[in-house]
């Protein structure tokens, strides 16, 4: 393993070497069963016990209350772009069967902060295009607050938001992996006090007097720090392939009132829901109604156990905060010297997980990437849609490795000026 490089990839991304070694042993013999993890039945007592422990790790480390179930499924974030629409429309149809007819509307509120929330809006529009009375509402559009009016450069201020009265869902993406834009942690825990941090999600502006249909995509920040106000969410979901495991596993935290009889709702005009996307199907089958991604669950479980032994999300939060600060600082130094240009200001919602910046000048980006690679650092090229550099600082990227990047950024500034 000595030829391993430092991997700053946005996902799939680095995993802790100690876990990969454990998983290697598990591929040959899982939990003393004499059968490897990729070969064992998902209904074996060994695997079902492991699944239960993994669920418990998430519940305890994130303080998930008993009002919410933790479910494991497949299909990634993209699967959830569809599933949240279908399940939440079904819930709404059962609660309010008369909406969407006789001129009334059933709405879906989306907060747009980057390309992943935009992809979710696109899927909501596609699925509901022919449903009478259903409207997808963009509740806030961060692009209106960018320099050129078309880019995602930060979290919009609270004045930007207009939620509808009784939406079927309210959707946001907590961390925009491509654009490097992330909501700050909420500073207030109750709606009586307005949120003062303009880059925190405006819980105080949400419709009152109902169980909030609040849905959040945590794909690229899940387990990187505690989730305050978790209990105020209807659904939190995340693909595993950033902070906690291999691709293939999707984790859902679902409030129980959002696990509904989708077939009864379909009779009322809601969309029919494929079984694998139905939260009720997954919950009734205790996350194994069909074959789950056994190996991905295994690695994620090992990562979560290791996380707890190292101090859990609170500890990772401290480390992740120091990591991102040091990289933004180096970007700032490069900015002053005309070498780097930050795409997102740390104070306007600069992501802790994905720091996105440009290298200024002819061929400079190529020189930066080449130098990084020569020093054993890979995965720094920005997403093809925004270009530039993206340094992903997920949990498995250590402070030492981050320090190596920061030191290289400083050397690069010197060599370019
Ligand atoms: N949401 C976010 C925030 C993501 O980062 C990604 C993937 N990078 C997705 C959704 C889509 O996830 P998947 O590729 O698992 O469908």
In a domain, residue 23? The reply is no
In a domain, residue 35? The reply is no
- What is the pLDDT, as a whole number, of residue 1? 56
Active site residue 217: yes
- What is the pLDDT, as a whole number, of residue 151? 96
Test site for ligand 1: of 10, 11, 75, 78, most ligand atoms within 8 A of the Cβ: 78
C-alpha separations of 117 from 131, 177, 310, 316 in Å: 21, 10, 32, 26
Which residue has its alpha carbon closest to ligand 1 atom 3?
Answer: 219
Q: How far apart are CA 342 and CA 45, in angstroms?
A: 51
Task: Specify whether 323 is located in the same domain as 279.
Answer: no
- What is the pLDDT, as a whole number, of residue 195? 92
Task: From the CA of 11, give the closest atom in ligand 1.
Answer: 8
Task: Specify whether 243 is located in the same domain as 369.
Answer: no
Counting Cα atoms < 13 Å in the Cβ hemisphere of 119 gives: 15
Residue 403 has pLDDT above 90, yes or no: yes
Active site residue 56: no
Residue 189 has pLDDT above 90, yes or no: no
Which residue has its alpha carbon closest to ligand 1 atom 2?
Answer: 219
Q: How far is the CA of 59 from the centre of ligand 1 (A)?
A: 22
Residue 50 has pLDDT above 80, yes or no: yes
Of 186-200, 213-227, 359-373, give the lowest mean pLDDT range. 186-200
Ligand 1 contacts CB of residue 313 (under 6 A) = no
In a domain, residue 29? The reply is no
Q: How far is the CA of 236 from the centre of ligand 1 (A)?
A: 13
Angle at the Cα of 317 (from 287 to 110), degrees rounded to 5? Answer: 60
Q: How far apart are CA 225 and CA 307, in angstroms?
A: 11
Active site residue 315: no
Task: Specify whether 244 is located in the same domain as 368.
Answer: no
Q: What domain range is 88 assigned to?
A: 45-308
**pLDDT tens for residues 66-84?**
999 999 999 999 999 999 9
Phi-psi region of 20 (alpha: psi -120 to 50; beta: other; left: phi over 0): alpha
Contact between 353 and 323 under an 8 Å Cβ cutoff? The reply is no
Residue 338 has pLDDT above 70, yes or no: yes
Query: Given 69, 232, 242, 352, which residue is catalytic?
Result: 242
For residue 370, what is the domain's CATH number?
3.90.1150.10
In this prediction the ipTM stands at: 0.99
Q: What percent of the chain has pLDDT over 90?
A: 94
- What is the pLDDT, as a whole number, of residue 351? 98
Which residue has its alpha carbon closest to ligand 1 atom 11?
Answer: 77
In a domain, residue 36? The reply is no
Q: How far is the CA of 269 from the centre of ligand 1 (A)?
A: 29
For residue 166, what is the domain's CATH number?
3.40.640.10
The domain boundary residue, chosen from 308, 340, 367? 308
User: Whole-model pTM above 0.95?
Assistant: yes
Task: Specify whether 352 is located in the same domain as 295.
Answer: no
Q: How many domains is the chain partitioned into structurally?
A: 2
Which residue has its alpha carbon closest to ligand 1 atom 15?
Answer: 76
**pLDDT tens for residues 112-144?**
999 999 999 999 999 999 998 999 999 999 999
Provide the mean pLDDT of the chain.
96
Residue 60 has pLDDT above 80, yes or no: yes
Ligand 1 contacts CB of residue 248 (under 6 A) = no
| Mean pLDDT across 255-259 | 98
**pLDDT tens for residues 295-313?**
999 999 999 999 999 999 9
Query: Given 69, 109, 141, 217, which residue is catalytic?
Result: 217
Of 94-108, 335-349, 354-368, give the lowest mean pLDDT range. 94-108
The domain boundary residue, chosen from 308, 330, 354? 308
- What is the pLDDT, as a whole number, of residue 193? 85
Query: Given 69, 116, 232, 280, which residue is catalytic?
Result: 116
Phi and psi of 116, rounded to 5°?
-80, -35
């Amino acid at each position: 393993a000595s030829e391993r490089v430092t991997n700053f990839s946005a996902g799939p991304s680095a995993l802790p070497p100690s876990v990969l070694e454990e998983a290697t042993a598990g591929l040959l013999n899982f939990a003393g069963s004499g059968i490897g993890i990729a070969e064992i039945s998902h209904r074996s007592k060994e695997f079902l016990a492991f699944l239960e422990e993994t669920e418990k790790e998430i519940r305890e480390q994130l303080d998930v209350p008993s009002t919410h179930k933790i479910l494991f499924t497949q299909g990634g974030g993209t699967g959830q772009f569809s599933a949240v629409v279908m399940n939440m429309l079904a819930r709404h149809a059962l609660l309010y069967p008369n909406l969407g007819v006789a001129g009334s509307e059933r709405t879906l509120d989306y907060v747009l902060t980057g390309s992943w929330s935009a992809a979710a809006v696109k899927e909501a529009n596609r699925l509901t295009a022919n449903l009478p009375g259903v409207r997808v509402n963009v509740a806030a559009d961060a692009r209106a607050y960018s320099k050129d009016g078309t880019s995602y450069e930060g979290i919009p201020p609270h004045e930007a938001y207009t939620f509808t009265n009784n939406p079927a869902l309210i959707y946001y993406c907590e961390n925009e992996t491509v654009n490097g834009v992330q909501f700050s942690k909420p500073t207030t825990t109750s709606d009586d006090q307005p949120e003062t941090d303009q880059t925190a999600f405006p819980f105080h502006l949400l419709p009152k007097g109902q169980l909030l249909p609040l849905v959040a995509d945590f794909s690229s920040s899940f387990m990187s720090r505690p989730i305050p106000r978790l209990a105020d969410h209807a659904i939190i979901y995340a693909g595993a392939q950033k902070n906690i495991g291999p691709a293939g596993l999707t984790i859902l935290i679902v409030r129980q009132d959002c696990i509904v009889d989708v077939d009864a709702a379909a009779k009322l005009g809601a969309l029919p829901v494929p079984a694998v996307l139905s939260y009720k199907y997954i919950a009734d089958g205790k996350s194994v109604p069909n074959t789950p991604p056994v190996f991905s669950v295994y690695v994620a479980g090992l990562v979560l156990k290791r996380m707890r032994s190292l101090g859990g999300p609170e500890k990772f939060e401290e480390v992740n905060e120091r990591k991102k600060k040091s990289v933004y600082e180096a970007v700032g130094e490069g900015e002053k010297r005309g070498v780097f240009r930050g795409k997102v200001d740390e104070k306007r919602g600069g992501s802790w997980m994905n720091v996105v910046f440009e290298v200024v000048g002819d061929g400079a980006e190529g020189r930066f990437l080449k130098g990084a690679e020569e020093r054993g650092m890979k995965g720094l090229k920005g997403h093809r849609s925004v270009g530039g550099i993206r340094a992903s600082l997920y949990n498995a990227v250590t402070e030492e490795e981050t320090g190596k990047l920061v030191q290289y950024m400083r050397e690069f500034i010197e060599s370019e000026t």
